[in-house]
Amino acid sequence: MRVHRLALTAFGPFADQVAVDLDDLGRDGLFLLWGPTGAGKTTLLDGIVYALYGTVPGARGEEKRLRSDHAADDVRTEVECEVTLGGERLLVVRRPEQQRPKRRGTGLTTEQAKLTVQRWTPEGWEPVSTRIDEGSEHLRTRLGLSAEQFCQVVLLPQGDFARFLRAEPEDRGRLLRTLFDVGRFAKVEDWLDEQRRAARGLLDEARLSVSTLLARVAQVADVEVPEELAPELVGAATAAHAGAWVHRVRAEVAGRLTEREAAATTAAAEVARVDTALAAARVEEQRHARRDKARADLARLQAEADEIVPLRATLDAAGRADPVRDVLEAAGRAALAAEAAEEELAAVRRRWAAVAGGRAADTLLSRSLRDEVAALRTLLPDVDRAAELAAAVTRTSRQVRTLTAQCAADDAEAAGWPARLAEQEAVVEAAAAADARLAGVTATLERTRSALTAARRGRGCRWAR
Residue 52 sits in a domain whose CATH number is 3.40.50.300
Tally of domains in the chain: 2
Q: Residue 101, SS3? A: strand
Residue 31 domain-assigned (yes or no): yes
Q: Is there a single domain that holds both residue 189 and residue 76? A: no
Name the DSSP letter for residue 9: E
Give me the pLDDT at residue 178, please. 61
pLDDT value of position 70: 84
pLDDT score at 94: 92
- Residue 72 in contact with residue 15, Cβ under 8 Å? yes
Same domain for 202 and 131, yes or no, is no
Burial class (CB in 10 A: 0-12, 13-18, 19+), 251: exposed
- Verify that 200 and 140 share a domain, yes or no: no
With 60 as the cut, is the pLDDT of residue 237 above it? no
pLDDT over threshold 60, residue 61: no
Note the pLDDT of residue 464: 44
Lowest mean pLDDT: which of 25-34, 152-161, 210-219, 368-377?
152-161
Entry field: residues in the chain: 465
115: exposed, middle or buried (Cβ count in 10 Å: 0-12, 13-18, 19+): buried
Between 305-356 and 363-378, two packed helices, what is the crossing angle to 10 degrees? 70
Residues 192 and 118 in one domain: no
- Are 6 and 140 part of one and the same domain? yes
Asked whether the predicted pLDDT for residue 394 surpasses 80, the reply is: yes
- For 129-133, 137-141, 208-212, which range has the lowest pLDDT when averaged over its residues? 208-212
- Most confident listed range (63-77, 131-145, 293-307, 451-465): 131-145
Average pLDDT rounded to a whole number, residues 448-464: 71
Share of the chain above pLDDT 70, in %: 82
Range 206-233 average pLDDT? 71
**DSSP 8-state class, residue 12:** T
- Which sign does the torsion angle of CA 214, 216, 217, 219 carry? positive
Angstrom CA distances, 423 to 416, 417, 420, stand at 11, 10, 5
Residue 194 maps to a domain: yes
- Residue 455: inside a domain: no
Average pLDDT over residues 362-390: 77
The yes-or-no verdict on residue 13 having pLDDT over 80 is yes
Q: What is the pLDDT of residue 463?
A: 45
In a domain, 251, yes or no: no
Measured between alpha carbons, how far is 13 from 268 in angstroms, rounded to an integer? 116
Q: Which of 198-202, 392-396, 430-434 has the highest mean pLDDT?
A: 198-202
Confidence of residue 349 (pLDDT cuts 50, 70, 90): confident
Residue that is last in its domain, among 194, 218, 240: 240
pLDDT for res 99? 84
Tell me the per-residue pLDDT of 274-285, one tens digit each, with 9 for 90 and over: 888 888 888 888
Task: Supply the range of the domain harboring residue 211.
Answer: 182-240
Same domain, 118 and 69: yes
Q: Within this chain, do residues 139 and 82 fall inside the same structural domain, yes or no? A: yes
- Give the pLDDT band of residue 63 (cuts 50, 70, 90): very low
Domain limit, last residue, from 240, 259, 274: 240
State the chain's mean pLDDT as an integer: 79
Give the mean pLDDT of 160-178. Answer: 65
Q: Does residue 118 lie in a domain region?
A: yes
Q: CA-CA distances (angstroms) from residue 261 to 203, 267, 269?
A: 40, 10, 12
Q: Which helix (H) or strand (E) holds 118?
A: strand 114-121
**Same domain for 211 and 123?**
no
- Residue ranges of alpha helices (H) inside 54-182 are 59-63, 132-143, 147-150, 160-165, 169-179
| Start-to-end Cα distance in the chain | 104
| pLDDT-derived band at 93, boundaries 50, 70, 90 | very high
With cut-offs at 50, 70 and 90, classify the pLDDT of residue 59.
low
Residue 465, pLDDT score: 44
Higher pLDDT pick, 82 / 385: 82
Domain match, 77 and 137 both: yes
* Residues 204, 130 share a domain: no
Same domain, 192 and 78: no
**Could you tell me the CA-to-CA distances from 213 to 58, 155, 225 in Å, in that order?**
67, 65, 12
- 3-class SS at 131? coil
- Cut 0.75: pTM above it: no
> Is 350 contained in some domain?
no
In a domain, 158, yes or no: no
In a domain, 390, yes or no: no
Residue 313 in this model has a pLDDT that exceeds 50: yes
Domain boundary among 144, 168, 198: 144
CB 1 within 8 A of CB 26: no
Same domain membership, residue 226 and residue 136: no
Helix (H) or strand (E) holding 153: none
